[in-house]
Structure 1
Amino acid sequence: MSERLGPYELLSRLGAGGFGEVHLALDAEGRTVAVKLLHPHVAADSGALARLAREVETMRRVSGPHVAEVLDASLEGARPYLVTRYVQGRPLSALPAPVDDLRRLASGLAGALLAMHEAGVIHRDLKPANVMMAEGDPVVIDFGIASALDSLSVTASGAVVGTPGYLAPEVLEGKQAGLEADVFSFGATLAYAATGRQPYGRGPASAVAYRVVHHPPDLEGVPEWLAPLLRECLSVDPGARPTAAGICAKLGVAHVPSPPRRRSPGAADHAMTMEWRPGKDRHRRSVEESRARHREKVRRRWLIGSGLFVSLLAAAAREPLPEVALFLLAAYALAVVADAGVAVFSRGPYRRSRMIVDMVSVAGVAGLCFGLAAMFSTFTLALFAGTALVVGIVFLLSA
């Protein structure tokens, strides 16, 4: 059973970090969002929460295709949380490195860095684990949280503010850190993506931190077009590092102004929900409507996939075992007709289309079976069916 947190319905736990657990959720209009529920030891630090509350509005000014925008926040209740755009993908740290399209990654990260810094936001914990790869494009998550929650009590409670190897030397030495610290983290993240190695090696955090302050980074294998820029970004001297705008200029990234943010009039001053509409005429869906739409999409995929598999099996068995072929087609037709019968008595929004798809699928499977049997040999069809079975099993296991 799903859990509710304010206006959000939590669907599943996506992961956890030093500051909280991230949940996939639906908002009141049925849109998918990511809800970060802060850990109890963080929620108990009133000073850190007050600082985060002051930073939320600044964080909300950051927008763009390469950042997961902060949409909402509730920091005053018993279970404080932040809401951001949900990015469907995998973190850069979980993907094979070196990455294939390094220029695309570098350009996207540079654009994200510029969007944050133009809004006055310091990420403070930019690293491969905080870069989600969505269809080949990087999207930076968790920006501003580490900087806002950097307090002695939170750190002592168990949250590590930053990751050695990606933290700038001035941060490790406890000095005043500004936008230049993010530039260092940007360089370290790109160095990892370009080589597949940690730029300052592995080992205990203290050893890695020592190498960050006293040793040059490992940039062997970084392409020539990128290596000079990374050396500048990873300079021990913050003043020697380029700005985000300078990085974009060197990478040829065009500056696109952030669009104005529209706000919901009923939200609180410090946590108003951004209106996000993929299309001008997109109607608002409730949670129930969104679930029904998702169930119908999954049902159609299973209907098509099982139909293709049954047609392959029936076509392969048609010549040597005609009774088996007839049984497979009849069983599939009976199952689909039963599903159509359920649709007759249902009151869902997809009732009519569901019945039509069911009837078309039965006729399509029968026609495809006879067509495949006429075009291919029994051995070829059996090979196709076996391959489809293996691919289906792998897909189910991976899903």
Structure 2
Amino acid sequence: MSERLGPYELLSRLGSGGFGEVHLALDAEGRTVAVKVLHPHVAADGGALARLAREVETMRRVGGPHVAEVLDASLEGARPYLVTRYVQGRPLSAVPVPVADLRLLAGGLADALLAMHEAEVIHRDLKPANVMMTEGEPVVIDFGIASALDTLSVTASGAVVGTPGYLAPEVLEGRSAGAEADVFSFGATLAYAATGRQPYGQGPASAIAYRVVHHPPDLEGAPEWLAPLLRECLATDPAARPTAAQICARLGVEPVSHIRHVAPRASGAPVRSPSATDDLSTREWRPGQERHRRSVEESRARHRERVRRRWLIGSGLFVSLLAAAARQPLPEVALFLLAAYTLGVMSDAGVALFSRSPFRRGRLVADLISVAGAVGLCFGLSTFFSTFTLALFAGTALVVGIVFLLSA
């Protein structure tokens, strides 16, 4: 049975990390999103939550096809959570490596890095597990969270801020770290994808951290076009690493600004749906505001109505093709097909007339238009096309329809 958290319906648990559990969920519009519910020991750290709340306004400015945008956040109450775009796929850490299309991966990661740094967001925990692969394209998730929650109390509570082997030397040594640390993590992640091995080997975390600080990375097997860039990104000195813009230039990635221009929402302002004009406004749930949002049931009803109309149009086109093909040799069959279609659609209209659906008026209009359209199209097609051509069209439409249904 599904669980509700604010306006979201949690459907299933996707996984768990150092900071929280991730759930697949439906928002108030019936769309899938990813909801990260912070762990209790993280939620108990008031200072960390306050810092995260400040960072969310910056994090939600990060946009683009290669990042999972922050859509919503509620950091008050017993179960604070963040909401991001849901990315269907597998993490880079779970796909076969070396990656087949390495240029596509490198370009996508570079674009994500530029998008974050343009918005002045530091990921701080970029690694293969935080790169989702969907149809060969990378999408970076969880950006900014590790940086915002990197406090002594959170770390002491058990959350691991970063992963040895992908953390920059300055982070491991406790020095101040900026965007250059993400460049190091980018290089380590891409090196893993290119060689199929951890760039600093395996073993205890302390041993890996020592190699990061004192030894060069293992880049054997990396292609010649990529190896020099990886060495620069994995330089021990942060100043020697290239910037995200320079990486994009080296890889031939067109620099496109993905900064989302969002206006801060005034305190107490009503919640607005993401389909509104101000699509990018942070939609924080507060008790008593559910009435401003569509219920999941209403969203599902809207979806069912859209599917019904598409089926109505598709079936009307198919029936009109069949009737037009049969009109000359078998006029009785053509009349039967049109009458059967009309009867079925009018029955649906009668059901809509006595239903309490908010879409009944539109449903009645669509039914009447579909009947008139099917009859008119039948006579029009039979006038301009031969019986053989129409039969060929109908057969093709039948095959395409069957293939579509089977694939769906």
**TM-score above 0.5:** yes
1:22: which partner in 2? 22
SS in 2 for 1:35: strand
Report if the CA contact (8 A) 1:191-1:230 is conserved.
yes
> Does 2:214 correspond to 1:205?
no
Q: How does 1:131-280 map to 2 (within 5 A)?
A: 131-258=131-258, 260-261=260-261, 275-276=274-275
Check 1:259–1:42 CA distance in 2 against 1; reply closer, same or farther (3 A cut): closer
Per-residue deviation, 1:291: 3.9
- In 2, the alpha carbon distance for the partners of 1:210 and 1:188 equals 15
Residue 289 of structure 1 deviates from its aligned partner by: 4.5
SS at 2:124 equivalent = coil
Counterpart contact for 1:192–1:198, Cα < 8 Å: yes
Q: 1: CA distance between counterparts of 2:27 and 2:35? A: 10
Asked if 2 retains the 8 angstrom alpha-carbon contact of 1:108 and 1:137, the reply is yes
Q: CA deviation at 1:292?
A: 5.5
Match of 1:74 in 2: 74
Which residue matches 1:60?
60
1:107-146 superposed matches below 5 A: 107-146=107-146
Report which of the two structures shows the higher radius of gyration computed on alpha carbons: 2
Structure 1 segment 286-365 matched on structure 2, within 5 A:
286-291=295-300
Deviation (angstroms), 1:85? 0.9
Match of 1:87 in 2: 87
Change in 2 beyond 3 A, CA 1:28/1:106: same
Q: Residue type of the partner of 2:21?
A: E
Q: Look up the equivalent residue of 2:173 and give its one-letter code.
A: E
Query: Identity of aligned pairs, percent?
Result: 80
Q: 1:272 to 1:260 in 2, by over 3 A?
A: farther
Q: 1:292 to 1:237 in 2, by over 3 A?
A: same
Amino acid at match of 2:131: V
- 1:130 and 1:164 map into 2 onto residues whose CA distance is 14
Cα distance in 1 for partners of 2:17, 2:111 equals 25
Is the contact made by 1:264 and 1:275 (CA closer than 8 Å) also made in structure 2? no
Name the amino acid aligned to 1:237.
D
State the secondary structure of the residue aligned to 2:185. helix
* Cα distance in 2 for residues equivalent to 1:231 and 1:118: 23
Q: Deviations over 1:195-254 (max 9, x none)?
A: 111111111111111111111111011111100000000000000000001101111111
**CA offset at residue 122 of structure 1?**
0.5
| Matching residue of 2:99 | 99
Report how far residue 2 of structure 1 moved: 1.6
Paired residues of 2:62 and 2:259 also in contact (CA < 8 A)? no
Shift of 1:257: 1.9
Q: TM-score w.r.t. structure 2 length?
A: 0.70
Query: How many angstroms does 1:258 deviate by?
Result: 2.3
Cα displacement (A) at 1:29: 1.8
Which blocks of at least 5 consecutive residues in structure 2 are unaligned? 280-292, 309-346, 371-394, 396-405
The CA distance in 2 between the partners of 1:31 and 1:347, in whole Å, is: 24
Cα displacement (A) at 1:276: 5.0
RMSD: 4.0
Calculate the TM-score normalised by the size of structure 1: 0.71
Distance of 1:118 and 1:259 partners within structure 2: 7
Letter in 1 for 2:133: M
Alpha-carbon deviations, 1:175-200, whole Å to 9, x = none?
A: 11111000000000000111111111
Cα displacement (A) at 1:129: 0.4
Letter in 1 for 2:110: A
Contact 2:119 2:259 in 1 (8 A): no
Residue type of the alignment partner of 1:136: G
Cα deviation for residue 9 of structure 1 reads: 1.4
Unaligned regions of 5+ residues in structure 1, if any? 300-339, 357-370, 372-391
